[in-house]
């Protein structure tokens, strides 16, 4: 039975092996990961605690493992640690409005909320704690505070139940070794990624890649002949460029866009196999049951509600599937800009102003405020380039005619891009930043001094909203990569 008592926030440790993300080295890293994966959720928790204080009915689930480690309630604990100044709010991507509220708290509020209710379990009761956590987060939306993503479920299935999760293993190796993803994407996808989509995609192409099982592919990665193409596919799944519909299409081959070799045989899939293999998530007749592990993974089982690629029909996704994609909009649509900015979550030191600028930019409509939008966007690039250059030892000035001259923004961004792409040797990152590089090559582009001077001083010079949408779509990957 748990020992119910109040503990001081400072005495409670965050769980650095929280299933929501990959294992973290420090509490600061854990907080950054929580914010990166679901920033809106994290901010809402902070705001709720600021509004109402910590509710006495919300017991934290604590495991006494020679210290008090929170097993359920990590987000609430992290919010409290920031509010009480146990970690500096300036080191995290916290909106200015929340910072102001935290800084204005009086001593009485902090005293009333420095002790929180906890249910403390002994280390010998770990199995019981795991059941409680699983019930709270892994059973679906009706039974949970915040349902676990497919990544978190797979991680728990692998680490606690010792089940094989090769698709998760590949994702984690990609996050560690991938050459075409940004730091923000690494943090976000370590906890929130369409893992079930990746699982089905891999099962449909595994034999075409020359492997019998996904596990074999994981063992070989990253030393693959088609590494760059596979990583492009992994990135596009993370960006939700395609999903189950494209993978299951009988009229097109999604894998051809990634140079995946065509099947050796074009024979139709085996229609007669309606045995237990269909419950293992087999995708095509070309992929035999060898493509599945003996121990069923959470990713394959999550697809059981739909028949496989070679089946007679395909049922719709369940409402809780992480494979469902948000509605896509055209490049020249304000909603595309809004969706993109929601995902922009600067991390690390000295980026507080960037968060403020992002929040202001989200409030602007490009068609109604084109000039203001351009000013804020350019400011974000200037600050980002300056911070990135300082942190990575990139010179910000040069000697010209015996005088020290500051680099223009365009010159500095070119230098940053060379650093990000390892002097263009990282082909994955070169592809990612292609649009930004094209924009930077324009001497009169928006990020050039000439255009901004004209925008400020010329009585009639302006920029059409249509062009701003295109520009934003091109340069955003560079902004994300710098932060």
Per-residue pLDDT tens digits for 369-417: 888 898 899 889 999 999 999 988 899 888 888 888 888 888 888 899 9
**What are the tokens at 393?**
């030892």
Return the pLDDT at 316: 37
**289-302: average pLDDT:** 50
Can you state the angle between helices 96-103 and 39-52, rounded to 10 degrees? Answer: 30
132 and 170 in a common domain: no
Return the pLDDT at 284: 42
Beta-strand relationship, 60-64 and 397-400: unpaired
340: pLDDT strictly greater than 50: yes
**Residue 374 is assigned to a structural domain of this protein:** yes
Question: Of residues 44 and 270, which shows the higher confidence score?
Answer: 44
Cβ count near 420 (within 10 Å):
21
323: pLDDT strictly greater than 70: no
393 and 254 in a common domain: no
pLDDT digits 0-9 by tens, 227-248 = 988 998 998 898 888 888 889 8
450 pLDDT band (50/70/90 cuts)?
low
Q: Does the predicted TM-score (pTM) go above 0.85?
A: no
**Residue 63 is assigned to a structural domain of this protein:** yes
- Nearest by Cα to 305 from 319, 288, 291: 319
272: pLDDT strictly greater than 70: no
**286-303: average pLDDT:** 48
Return the pLDDT at 330: 73
Compute the distance between CA of residue 185 and CA of residue 37 in angstroms, rounded to an integer.
Answer: 9
Q: Identify any residues that bridge with 400 across adjacent strands, giving them in sequence order.
A: 403
Return the pLDDT at 269: 43
Compute the distance between CA of residue 351 and CA of residue 347 in angstroms, rounded to an integer.
Answer: 7
291: pLDDT strictly greater than 60: no
134 and 211 in a common domain: no
Looking at 278, 301, 324, which one is the last position of a domain?
Answer: 301
- Window from 45-54, 297-306, 350-359, 360-369 with minimum mean pLDDT: 297-306
H/E stretch holding 403 reads strand 403-406
Q: Which residues of 241-272 are buried (b: 16+ CB within 10 A; e: fewer)?
A: ebbbeebbeeeebbbeebebeebeeeeebeee
Looking at 94, 115, 146, which one is the last position of a domain?
Answer: 146
Mean of the per-residue pLDDT values for the chain? 80
Q: Where are the alpha helices (DSSP H) in 262-333?
A: 298-301
Return the pLDDT at 104: 92
211: pLDDT strictly greater than 50: yes
205: pLDDT strictly greater than 90: yes
195 and 134 in a common domain: no
The SS3 call for residue 326 is: coil
Q: What is the DSSP string of 19-84?
A: TTSS--SSHHHHHHHHHHH-HHHHHHHHHHHHHH---TT--EEEEESSSEEEEE-HHHHHHHHHHT
Question: Of residues 297 and 176, which shows the higher confidence score?
Answer: 176
Instruction: Work out how many domains the chain is built from and give that number.
Output: 3
109 and 14 in a common domain: yes
Compute the distance between CA of residue 83 and CA of residue 50 in angstroms, rounded to an integer.
Answer: 8
**425-445: average pLDDT:** 78
Exposed / middle / buried, residue 384 (Cβ in 10 Å: 0-12, 13-18, 19+)? buried
Percent of the chain with pLDDT over 90: 31
134 and 39 in a common domain: yes
Token match 């500096």: residue? 88
460 and 381 in a common domain: yes
What is the rounded radius of gyration, in angstroms, for the C-alpha atoms of the chain? 25
Return the pLDDT at 75: 92
43 and 106 in a common domain: yes
278 pLDDT band (50/70/90 cuts)?
very low
**What are the tokens at 90?**
């300036």
Compute the distance between CA of residue 36 and CA of residue 237 in angstroms, rounded to an integer.
Answer: 18
**Residue 320 is assigned to a structural domain of this protein:** no
Range of the domain at 225: 166-301
- What's the sign of the alpha-carbon dihedral 156, 157, 163, 168? negative
Question: Of residues 397 and 277, which shows the higher confidence score?
Answer: 397
- Nearest by Cα to 338 from 213, 481, 243, 472: 472
Question: Of residues 241 and 14, which shows the higher confidence score?
Answer: 14
């Amino acid at each position: 039975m748990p020992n119910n008592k109040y503990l001081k926030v400072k005495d409670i440790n965050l769980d650095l092996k929280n299933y929501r993300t990959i294992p973290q080295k420090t509490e600061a890293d854990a907080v950054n990961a929580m914010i990166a994966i679901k920033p809106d959720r994290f901010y809402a928790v902070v705001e709720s605690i600021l509004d109402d204080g910590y509710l006495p009915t919300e017991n934290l689930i604590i495991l006494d493992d020679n210290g008090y480690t929170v097993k359920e309630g990590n987000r609430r604990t992290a919010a409290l640690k920031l509010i009480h100044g146990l970690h500096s709010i300036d080191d995290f991507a916290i909106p200015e409005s929340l910072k102001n509220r935290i800084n204005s708290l009086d001593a009485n509020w902090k005293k009333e909320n420095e002790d929180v209710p906890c249910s403390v379990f002994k280390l010998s009761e770990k199995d019981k704690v795991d059941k409680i956590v699983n019930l709270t987060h892994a059973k679906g939306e009706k039974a949970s505070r915040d349902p676990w993503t497919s990544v978190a479920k797979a991680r728990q299935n692998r680490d606690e139940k010792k089940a094989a999760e090769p698709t998760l293993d590949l994702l984690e190796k990609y996050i560690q070794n991938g050459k075409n993803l940004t730091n923000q994407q690494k943090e976000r996808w370590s906890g929130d990624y369409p893992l079930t989509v990746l699982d089905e995609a891999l099962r449909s192409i595994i034999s075409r890649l020359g492997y019998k099982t996904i596990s074999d592919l994981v063992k070989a990665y990253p030393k693959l002949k088609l590494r760059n193409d596979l990583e492009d596919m992994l990135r596009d799944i993370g960006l939700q460029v395609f999903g189950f519909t494209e993978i299951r299409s009988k009229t097109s081959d999604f894998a051809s866009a990634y140079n995946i070799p065509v099947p050796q045989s074009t024979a139709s899939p085996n229609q007669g196999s309606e045995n237990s293999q269909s419950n293992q998530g087999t995708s095509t007749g070309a992929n035999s049951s060898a493509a599945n592990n003996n121990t069923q993974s959470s990713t394959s089982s999550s697809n059981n509600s739909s028949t496989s690629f070679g089946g007679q029909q395909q049922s719709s996704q369940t409402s809780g599937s992480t494979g469902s994609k948000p509605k896509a909009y055209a490049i020249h649509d304000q909603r595309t800009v809004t969706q993109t900015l929601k995902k922009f979550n600067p991390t690390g030191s000295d980026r507080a102003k960037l968060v403020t600028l992002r929040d202001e930019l989200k409030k602007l409509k490009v068609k109604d405020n084109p000039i203001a939008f351009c000013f804020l966007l350019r400011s974000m690039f200037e600050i980002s380039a300056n911070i990135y250059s300082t942190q990575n030892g990139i010179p910000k000035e040069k000697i010209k005619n015996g005088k020290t001259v500051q680099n223009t923004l365009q010159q500095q961004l070119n230098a940053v891009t060379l650093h990000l792409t390892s002097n263009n040797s990282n082909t994955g990152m070169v592809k990612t930043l292609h649009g930004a590089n094209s924009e930077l090559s324009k001497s009169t582009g928006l990020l050039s001094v000439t255009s901004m001077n004209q925008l400020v001083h010329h009585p009639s010079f302006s920029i059409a909203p249509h062009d701003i949408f295109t520009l934003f779509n091109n340069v955003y990957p560079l902004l994300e990569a710098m932060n």
